[in-house]
Amino acid sequence: MAARPIEFDREEALMTRAVDAFWCYGYEALPTATLAEQMGVSKSSLYNTFGTKRELLLETIAAYVDAKAGAIREVAASPRLFQPLKALLLDIVEDNDNGRGCLLVNTSAELGLHDVGVRQLVHSGFQAIMDAFELLMIAGQRSGEFKRDLDSANMTLMLVTTIAGLRVLAKAGFEAHQLAPAVENLLATIAS
């Protein structure tokens, strides 16, 4: 007897709906039935297609990282770098992904101490984001938009650390006008 074909768009279910579900609820507070409902699939389809809830979380994190790092690499390949970087940082303090924050930061805070596999994946995810931002830093230095004497690896670490902190503070209720000076100080450190 042949297996029934998948009757939903796997990428849509993963990239949009699963990411949104884990972003909104976190991992522990998200019942599998709610996760399946949010994804628009039955529980049996969820298990048959993605495995366990934890396996789905891991795949979701990997997909999230690919999307975020890809977007940063696109900016790094563009002719102008300072304004898109500034816009990205200001969007974090003003919107913070609709108040959800960063899936890597959220998952690390929730599960990082207790789940070695998740912690390793989140660490790798942050490294991929940092690698993409380092490309942006190097491109900005080459174009003259960013200071040439900056250590791109150290600046990237400062950038990602600042972004993670901004996301946490924004989720804690700090207003954009309170966080914007941190963005301006960081940009002043980078800009030529």
pLDDT in tens, 54-110: 999 999 999 999 999 999 999 999 999 999 999 999 999 999 988 899 999 999 999
Provide the whole-model pTM.
Answer: 0.89
Per residue in 98-135, pLDDT tens? 889 999 999 999 999 999 999 999 999 999 999 999 99
Q: Is the pLDDT of residue 3 over 60?
A: no
C-alpha of 153 from chain center:
19
- So where are the chain's domains? 10-190
Distances in Å between the alpha carbon of 123 and those of 38, 100, 105? 27, 20, 10
Please say if the pLDDT value at position 1 is more than 70. no
> Burial level of 64, CB count in 10 A (0-12/13-18/19+)?
buried
Domain covering 10-190, topology: Tetracycline Repressor; domain 2 (1.10.357)
